[in-house]
Structure 1
Amino acid sequence: MLDILIKNARILDGTGNPWQPGDVAVQDGRIVAMGRVEGDAAQTIDAAGLFCTPGFIDPHGHDEGYALTDEETHAKLSQGVTTDVSGNCGLSLAPVSPDHTAELAAAMALLTPPKNLKDFVTFDDFLRAMEARPHAINLAYQVGHGALRIAVTGMENRPATVKELDTMCGMLREALQSGAVGMSVGMLYPPGNIASQDELVTLCRVLRDYDRIMTIHIRDEADGVVESVKEAIDLARFSGCFVNISHHKALGLSNWGKVNTTLGLIEEANAQGVAVGFDQYPYNANCTGLNTILPPSYLLSDQAELVSNLRTPEFRDQARHAIMNPTEIWDNYARNVGMDRTLVIKADATPEAVGIRVSEYAAARGLEPMDAAFQLLADNNLDVVAVYFSISDEDIATVMRNINGMFGSDGIYVPGGKKTHPRIMGTMPRVLGRYVREKGVLRLDEAVRKMTSLPARRMRLARKGLLLEGYDADIVLFDAATVTDTADFIKDSYAPNQGIRHVIVNGRIAMTDNIYTGAASGRVYRAR
């Protein structure tokens, strides 16, 4: 007897080919037959009118802390994501050095690091801890360059020595041998912004030897986006490993349209045999800490002293001048986006600021907008998260049409269901509803390819991303006429998606119409 028999579906197999009518048979966690299938099954799903696709793969998750506390990972499962790849932007929970645990915890603050962080000395330690817990979805992990560097040098603002770099390479090899699917770098954030090209190329050559990916949050997605994309391409060129540019976009009104140049650079690189791609989320706002309005050098200074200084008029004047007349390279949201387009979504010490723009908070208190931002940072010990409405809708469509891109949420789950960027909840349904059905930016078969087989191939996820006999039975059934997101920035960041009817993970129905079944059939994936 079959475990599950899906009948009368519109099958999109993940290759990008048009849909075909048919059935899908599942047994012992695998797809065992497709086409017209007859036979008895423990569960039969009549999928008439529904599309049947491989489970969606989110190649850009930040779910380390979330998955350690919440079996269901509802925000991902409810949008049809059956496999999540975390450890992005240079951030990971391992490896951990006993001498620098506090520094890693501070760097990982947004991702809710666990109290037992010190136990994750090696990447294998971390994966074993994850394997000891039940999970609703499959979880794969990259090792963060930031974690490697902090474990060896702490947050010291200097080049790594030859010996230190050799130690980092050894830690990277251990992570890859343990099952990390790649390494991520965060060039915007410390300590990634300290690393030299030689350091990163050396580490990327280790990735090349293991045939694993490097993902990069580039140094500057605003004024310097073209130069930063060139920097990422050079890492691929000089190392020989595949480089994936994270959440590709151009921030700030004055930079809208530059994606035409950056996409051209990516296409040219691939034509030359340099392997480069990118992921993207379908929203016109990005999200990160409000402290990133400050120049990178400020974030490398003593943080307690920085908080104290932010309360003084003299330091604020100095910081304002450094932001408006920059000599350092970074996204510079205060200058390129502005406080009238910056929405506060987390500021625990000043809850009255949450859900309004910094300019509105400033007006209510009779402050100049940038002074209000500095005050928020000081009052919250730098722990403020903001959404920046910084991205062109036209650019989103342009990037989405490019063949080299896949979709990733870049979402961060906030414990307690508090405000966050709605991409954590709605990325995949938003693409299918707004950009495929309503706007016609992509064909449905191509959108599904970008959500399934493309990330599976890049992340070396064996038996994932296709509806094919012998592949893992990770399957989504959705109604193309109704599928969409409903989460938003103000009212409810976790509002339920519509049109995702069934989600199957490793051969068990994990969710039906947004209700978790308790299957807990997800697995921790170890690359080999």
Structure 2
Amino acid sequence: MLDILIKQVKVLDGTGNPGFIADVGVVKGKIQEVGFITRKAKLVIDGNGLCVSPGFIDPHAHDEGCPFFDEAVLNKLSQGVTTDISGNCGQSLAPVSERYWKENQSVHALINPPECMHEFTSFGKFLDAVEKKKIGVNMGFLVGHAALRIAVMGLENREPSLAELEQMKVYLRESLEQGALGLSAGLLYPPGSIAKQDEFVELCKVIKEKNAIFTIHIRDEGDYVIESVKEAIEIAKRSGAFVNISHHKAIGKKNWGKVNTTLKMIEEANQDGLNVGFDQYPYNANCTYLNTILPPSYLVREREQLVMNLRESQFRERVKEDILACREKWDNFVVNVGFAGMLVIKADKTPDAVGKTVSEYANALQKDPFDTALDLLVDNHLDVIAVYFSMSDDDVETVMKNPYGMVGTDGIYMKNKEKTHPRVSASFPRVLGRYVREKKVLQLEEAIRKMTSLPAQRLHLKNKGLIKEDFDADLVVFNANTIMDNADFIVDSYAPNTGIRYVIVAGEVALKDNLYTHAASGQVIRRKEF
């Protein structure tokens, strides 16, 4: 007897090929049969008028701490994600060293480090801790460059010595052997912003050796986006590793359209025999710390000292001058977005600012927007998060059409469902509802490929990403005519999506009509040697 039988459903198998009507049978967590099935099943799902696809794979998540406060990982399960890959942008909770673990905890506060983080002295210990949780989705993890660097040399603003670089490579190799799926880097944030290209090339030689993935939040997505993509491609060329550019975009109106150049660069790199790809979330707004309005050199200072300095008028004037003069290479949201395009979504010490742009909050206080932004950082001890309306809708669609791109969320799941970017809970239905059905930017089958088999291939996720006999029974049953995102920036960042009927993880129904079944059938995915 089958465990689950989905009858007369349109099968979108993940290959990008046209869908077809068939039955899908599941036994013991595996897809056992696809075709016309007459066998009985414990659960029969009427698929008439519905589609079934492989479970969506989010290649760009930040849910490292989520299993320690929301084991179900509902922000992903509710949008059809059955496999969540966290540890992106250089951020991971392991490995930590006894000497510098508090620095790691401080830098990675946004990804919700648990109290037991000091115990994660190896990547394997971190994975062991997650395995003890009853998680609702499959979870795999990248090891962050920031974690490696901090474990070896703290937050020192310098290049590593040869011995320190070798120790970082030892940590990386051990992490990969213990189950990390690859390496990530965030060149906007310290200590990634400190590191030079040579440092990443050396680490990526280990990635090449282990046939893993390197994901990179490039150094600048604004004025220097072309140069920053070139740097990512150069890392691929010099190391031979597969390089995936995170959340690819161009921010700032004067940079809109540059994605046509960067996408061509990625295509040409692949034609030349390199392996370069990217992921993307389907929004025209990004989200990160408000302190990234400061030039990178300011952020390598000790936090307490920076907050103290920002209270001084003379220091503030120098900050303003450095930002407006664009003296460093970074996204420079003040110049490229403006205070009217910065929506504050987290500022615990100044709750009246939440839900307002910096300009709106400044007007309410009858203050200068620049000083208001700096006051927010001081009053909240730098712990402020903002959404930046920075991108062109045309660029979003152009990037989405490119075959080298995967769909991802890049979302931060806040404890107690505090306001956040809606991408954390709605990215995949948004693509299928708004960009496939309404705007016809993609064909349905191609969108599903970008969400399933493409990330499975790049991350070496065995038996995932396709509806095929003996593959894992991670499945999404949805209505292609009604699927839609409902979350927004102001009212509800976690509003339930429409049109997802069943989410099946490891052969068990995990979500039915937006209700969690408490199946807790998710598994930790550890990298296998190839």
Deviations 1:355-408 (A, max 9, x none): 000001111112111110000000000000000000100000000000100000
Which residue pairs with 2:501 in the alignment?
501
What secondary structure is seen at the aligned counterpart in 1 of 2:398?
helix
Q: CA deviation at 1:193?
A: 1.0
Q: C-alpha separation between the residues in 2 aligned to 1:376 and 1:198? A: 36
Which residue pairs with 2:305 in the alignment?
305
**What are the residue-to-residue correspondences of 1:410-421 with 2, within 5 Å?**
410-421=410-421
Deviations 1:13-72 (A, max 9, x none): 000000010000000100000111111111110110101100000000000111222121
Which residue pairs with 2:393 in the alignment?
393
**What are the residue-to-residue correspondences of 1:269-418 with 2, within 5 Å?**
269-418=269-418
Q: C-alpha separation between the residues in 2 aligned to 1:204 and 1:68? A: 30
Deviations 1:196-248 (A, max 9, x none): 21111111010001100000000000000000000000000000010000000
Q: C-alpha separation between the residues in 1 aligned to 2:472 and 2:289? A: 37
Q: C-alpha separation between the residues in 2 aligned to 1:458 and 1:506? A: 21
Which residue pairs with 1:469 in the alignment?
469
Q: CA deviation at 1:101?
A: 1.1
What secondary structure is seen at the aligned counterpart in 2 of 1:429?
helix
The amino acid across from 1:354 in the alignment is V
Does residue 172 of structure 2 align to residue 172 of structure 1?
yes
The amino acid across from 1:80 in the alignment is G
The amino acid across from 2:523 in the alignment is R
Which residue pairs with 2:250 in the alignment?
250
Which residue pairs with 2:28 in the alignment?
28
**Higher mean C-alpha displacement, 294-303 vs 147-156:** 294-303
The amino acid across from 2:462 in the alignment is A
Q: C-alpha separation between the residues in 2 aligned to 1:259 and 1:396? A: 9
The amino acid across from 2:305 in the alignment is E
Q: CA deviation at 1:176?
A: 0.5
Which residue pairs with 2:526 in the alignment?
526
Q: CA deviation at 1:517?
A: 0.5
The amino acid across from 1:88 in the alignment is N
Q: CA deviation at 1:308?
A: 1.3
The amino acid across from 1:178 in the alignment is Q
Q: C-alpha separation between the residues in 2 aligned to 1:326 and 1:252? A: 13
Deviations 1:81-137 (A, max 9, x none): 000000000000000011111110111111111111100000000000011111100
**What are the residue-to-residue correspondences of 1:121-270 with 2, within 5 Å?**
121-270=121-270
The amino acid across from 1:78 in the alignment is S
Q: C-alpha separation between the residues in 1 aligned to 2:366 and 2:301? A: 30
Q: C-alpha separation between the residues in 1 aligned to 2:68 and 2:43? A: 31
**What are the residue-to-residue correspondences of 1:23-62 with 2, within 5 Å?**
23-62=23-62
| Structure 1 outlier segments of 4+, above 2 Å | none
Does residue 513 of structure 2 align to residue 516 of structure 1?
no
Which residue pairs with 2:482 in the alignment?
482
- Aligned residues of 2:69 and 2:415 also touching (Cα < 8 A): no
Q: CA deviation at 1:300?
A: 0.4
The amino acid across from 1:298 in the alignment is Y
The amino acid across from 1:357 in the alignment is T
Which residue pairs with 1:434 in the alignment?
434
- Aligned residues of 2:60 and 2:410 also touching (Cα < 8 A): yes
Q: C-alpha separation between the residues in 1 aligned to 2:273 and 2:195? A: 26
Which residue pairs with 1:117 in the alignment?
117
Aligned residues, how many? 528
Q: C-alpha separation between the residues in 1 aligned to 2:321 and 2:303? A: 20
Q: C-alpha separation between the residues in 2 aligned to 1:173 and 1:313? A: 47
**Higher mean C-alpha displacement, 278-287 vs 64-73:** 64-73
Q: C-alpha separation between the residues in 2 aligned to 1:367 and 1:313? A: 15
Deviations 1:233-289 (A, max 9, x none): 000000001000000000011100000000010001000001100000000100000
Deviations 1:159-183 (A, max 9, x none): 0010001101110011100111100
Which residue pairs with 2:79 in the alignment?
79
The amino acid across from 1:471 in the alignment is F
The amino acid across from 1:148 in the alignment is L
The amino acid across from 1:398 in the alignment is T
What secondary structure is seen at the aligned counterpart in 2 of 1:140?
strand
Q: C-alpha separation between the residues in 1 aligned to 2:157 and 2:314? A: 25
Q: C-alpha separation between the residues in 2 aligned to 1:249 and 1:198? A: 24
What secondary structure is seen at the aligned counterpart in 2 of 1:166?
helix
What secondary structure is seen at the aligned counterpart in 1 of 2:277?
strand
The amino acid across from 1:241 in the alignment is A
The amino acid across from 2:322 in the alignment is A
Unaligned runs of 5+ in 2: none
Percent identity, aligned pairs only, is: 59
Deviations 1:475-519 (A, max 9, x none): 000000100000000000000000000000000000011000010
Q: CA deviation at 1:314?
A: 1.3
Q: C-alpha separation between the residues in 2 aligned to 1:151 and 1:304? A: 21
The amino acid across from 1:433 in the alignment is G
Q: CA deviation at 1:302?
A: 2.0
The amino acid across from 2:172 in the alignment is L
The amino acid across from 2:72 in the alignment is E
> Cα RMSD between the aligned structures?
0.6
TM-score of the aligned structures, taking structure 1 as reference length? 1.00
What secondary structure is seen at the aligned counterpart in 2 of 1:250?
coil
Which residue pairs with 2:452 in the alignment?
452
